[in-house]
Chain A
Amino acid sequence: MDELTELEKFSGEMPIVPLRKWGRWASAIIVVAAFVAFIVSLRHAQIAWGDVPKFFTYHTMIQGLYQTILLTIACMATGIILGVVIAIMRRSTNPVMSWLAWLYIYIFRGLPALLQLYIWFNLALAFKTIGIPGLVSISTNTVITPFVAGVLGLGLNESAYYAEIVRAGFNSVDHGQVEAAASIGMRPSQTMRRVILPQAMRVIIPPTGNDFINMIKGTSLASVIGVHELLLSASNIYAANFRIMEALMSAALWYMVIVSLASIGQYWIEKKYASDRSNPATMKKVMGRSLNPNGFFRRMIGRNEAIV
């Protein structure tokens, strides 16, 4: 009977009082306090902050930046091209090809990137010259410059990982698509180019962005074999003036700048290519832009939140 009286009291509309999110405000206070403490401690740290922007624009640093970008692009290009080839070989019906691809992935994914860099860099110790016997022969040291060793070490390592990414992409394409392509008389190579690859792209692109961003930072490994990228530039600076933390900080700043730019690029490329046309829900997301009902401030006051 109680319920009935409640119901009788109800007249039309009443305001809704959202649940107070005390945990969110408490965590906000703790985090802000920790940040303030950190900033204050930085002011007392023995870092000459004025040197950081100075080193940031040093000629050596800019050259290092240029080498980092160049090495990243060269390694990713090598990794992607070889990776796609290896992935296609891996799914080949030719057992020799698929076994060879397996072996390649096993070796280049199994060894540490740093070790691979050292091996390529020191190749001349094992082979004084490289070439085809009786035809061409070149001194190994002429061919394998630090930069080339960097591209081989990091690029081949990347290609082994990338082959697995591409393979996952291939596997994501429904076999019915391949049968449909066959039924209209498409050759296997056409099916790969026109049906499998384009559909595998939406699975392949997001991890490609991740790998690219990883590669930007990974190129710092090449500093140990003398590629003049950002990290080696920073250490050259502090070797001359002993401003170690300052030089490292300005290199860190540059890495943040490139990584941020790459992240923006990744966001746009994913938006353009990674929409899943076989899924109506994501199609809608691409076609109609919607306001985010789960923004930061709305969540702090507990309004309009998705339940799960």
Chain B
Amino acid sequence: MSGTDIPLVRAINVHKSFGRLEVLKGINLDVKSGQVVCLLGPSGGGKSTFLRCLNHLEKIDRGTIFVDGKPVGYRMNQGKFYEIREREVALQRAQIGMVFQRFNLFSNRTALENVIEGPIQVLKIDPKGARETAVRLLERVGMMDWADRYPAQLSGGQQQRVAIARSLAMNPKLMLFDEPTSALDPELVGDVLSVMRSLAADGMTMIVVTHEIGFAREVADQAVFMFDGVIAEEGRPADVFSNPRHERTQQFLSKVL
């Protein structure tokens, strides 16, 4: 745990509906700097939607999300939240890394070009420096040998590791993972999880939506179970996995363990 008591992420009473369907029904969550939080639960429970709200890919209907002390998507002034421009939202997003289920690497750029895109275009770092960082990061995720390949020439696991490097290149304060291993062949899951494990060990703050119970049990500081748009149970993985109190958590765990 880090020394500060102010959480890096604070979600207060977050509500979100798609049309008539209420997907999030008042989510409250604190994540401290350096913590790894795993969001667990059945599909349709609102985990991914909540994660997407955290960097304003979805606009919330009610409540507030603070990241690093600032409300996401808004500016506070004299008791009111003012909506900010898309380019200002972009600056907020630049500090929050996101890894997608379907990787979403830029298909017209090589692995290396994917990684240097953000630093050069957004952070305005000189191409030489961006390249050096990219090489270091691709080595870290074990993808330097494939640096000049296009995404279509890489396996899912390789694409996901490049996608993680692309996010890290922005030097984010927080990393969001949206089911990073769900689209992978079983034998490729391990490589991606080990990269994530090493990130966690280095003290990166991570919020991970996942179905990998083993990973959550081993790496997470906090496990959060979401059902039907509410948080049913949260706590240290050692406690909640072996001793779930909520009935739905018990049912869910009995199916996946």
Contact A180 B153 (CB under 8 A): no
Residue on A with the closest CB to B55?
A183
Q: Mark B88-115, 1 if CB is under 8 A from A, else 0.
A: 0011111111101010111110000000
Contact flags (1/0) for A182-195 with B, using CB distance below 8 Å?
Answer: 11111110100011
Contacts of B94 in A (CB 8 A): 184-185
Beyond A194-B117, A277-B152, A283-B150, is A184–B104 a contact (Cβ under 8 Å)? no
How many chain A residues sit at the interface, stated as a range, is 20 to 34
A18 interface residue, CB < 8 Å from B?
Answer: no
Asked if B90 and A185 make an inter-chain contact with CB atoms under 8 angstroms apart, the answer reads yes
Using A186-B122, A199-B107 as known contacts, say yes or no to A176 and B100 having CB atoms under 8 A apart.
Answer: yes
CA A183 to CA B51, docked complex, whole Å: 12
Q: Is B128 an interface residue (CB 8 A)?
A: no
Shortest Cβ distance from residue A205 to the other chain B in the assembled complex, whole angstroms? 13
A10 vs B122: C-alpha distance when bound (angstroms): 71
> What distance in Å separates the Cβ of A160 from its nearest Cβ neighbour in chain B?
28
Is B121 an interface residue, CB under 8 A from the partner? yes
**CB-based contact B90/A180 at 8 Å:** no
Q: Which of B122, B151, B169 contacts A278 (CB 8 A)?
A: B151
Residue-by-residue, is A271-286 near B (CB-CB < 8 Å gives 1, otherwise 0)? 0000001111001000
* B107 CB contacts on chain A under 8 angstroms: 177, 199, 277-278
Chain B nearest CB from A170 CB (Å) reads 14
* Residue A179 CB within 8 A of the other chain: yes
**Are B86 and A277 in contact, with the CB atoms below 8 A?**
no
Enumerate chain B residues within 8 angstroms of A209, measured Cβ to Cβ. Answer: none
CB of A206 within 8 A of chain B? no
Q: Does B87 contact A (CB under 8 A)?
A: yes
A residues near B121, Cβ cutoff 8 Å? 186, 190, 194
Taking the complex as formed, is B57 at the interface, i.e. its CB lies under 8 A from any CB of chain A? yes
The answer to whether B108 touches A180 (Cβ under 8 A) is no
Q: Is the CB of B152 within 8 A of A180?
A: no
B167 CB contacts on chain A under 8 angstroms? 183-184
Kindly state whether residue B192 has any CB partner on chain A within 8 Å: no
Q: Determine if B57 and A179 form an interchain contact, defined as CB atoms under 8 angstroms apart.
A: yes
Assess the B122–A185 pair: CB atoms within 8 A: yes
Closest to B92 in A: A185
Asked if B86 and A184 make an inter-chain contact with CB atoms under 8 angstroms apart, the answer reads: no
Cβ B100 vs Cβ A180 within 8 A: yes
Distance in angstroms from A88 CB to nearest chain B CB is: 15
| B147-180 interface (Cβ within 8 A of A) | 150-153, 163, 166-167, 169-170
Measured between alpha carbons, how far is A161 from B112 in the docked complex, in Å? Answer: 37
- Bitwise interface map of B from 173 to 204 toward A, beta carbon under 8 Å scored 1, else 0: 00000000000000000000000000000000
On chain B, the residues within 8 Å of A187 by CB distance are: 86-87, 90
Q: Is the interface of A mostly helix, strand, loop or mixed?
A: helix
Query: Could you tell me if B91 and A185 are in contact, using CB atoms closer than 8 angstroms?
Result: yes
Determine which of A183, A190, A195 lies in contact with B57 in the assembled complex, contact meaning CB atoms within 8 Å: A183
A283 to B153, CA, bound (A): 9
Report the minimum CB–CB distance from B111 to chain A (whole Å).
12
Do B117 and A280 touch across chains, with their CB atoms under 8 A apart? no
B:115-130 near A, CB below 8 Å: 117-118, 121-122
- Closest Cβ of chain B: how far from A155's Cβ, in Å? 29
Provide the bound-state CA to CA distance between A199 and B93, in Å. Answer: 23
Q: Which residues of B contact A190 (CB under 8 A)?
A: 121-122
A180 near B105 with CB under 8 A, answer yes
Residue of A183, A194, A195, A280 touching B93 (CB-CB under 8 A): A183
The answer to whether B106 and A177 have CB atoms under 8 Å apart is: yes
Min Cβ gap A273→B in Å is 10
- Complex: how many Å from CA A221 to CA B200? 68
The answer to whether A279 touches B152, judged by C-beta atoms less than 8 angstroms apart, is: yes
| A278 adjacent to B152 (CB under 8 Å) | yes
Cβ-defined contact, A179 with B100, below 8 A: yes
Q: How far does the alpha carbon of A129 sit from the alpha carbon of B121 in the complex, in Å?
A: 47
* B93 vs chain A, min Cβ distance (A): 5
Question: Given the complex, which residues of B lie within 8 Å of A283, measured CB to CB?
Answer: 150, 152-153
Assess the B118–A280 pair: CB atoms within 8 A.
Answer: no
Interface centre among A180, A181, A278 (most CB of B within 10 A): A180
Which residues from chain B contact A277 at a C-beta distance below 8 Å?
Answer: 107-108, 150-152
Q: In the bound complex, do residue A179 and residue B108 qualify as a contact, i.e. CB atoms below 8 Å apart?
A: no
Q: Which residues of A contact B91 (CB under 8 A)?
A: 185
Q: How far is the CB of B147 from chain A (nearest CB, A)?
A: 16
Nearest residue, chain B, Cβ from A281: B152
* A280 vs B153: C-alpha distance when bound (angstroms): 6
A184 / chain B contacts, CB cutoff of 8 Å:
93-94, 97, 117-118, 122, 166-167, 169-170
Known: A184-B94, A277-B108, A283-B152. 4 other contacts (CB 8 A): A177-B104, A180-B163, A182-B57, A183-B55
5 shortest interchain CB distances as A-B pairs:
A185-B94, A184-B118, A180-B104, A183-B98, A278-B107
Question: Can you list 23 A-B pairs, Cβ within 8 angstroms, ordered by A?
Answer: A174-B104, A176-B104, A180-B100, A180-B105, A180-B166, A181-B106, A183-B55, A183-B96, A184-B94, A184-B97, A185-B92, A185-B93, A185-B95, A185-B170, A186-B90, A186-B121, A186-B122, A188-B87, A190-B122, A277-B150, A277-B152, A278-B107, A280-B153
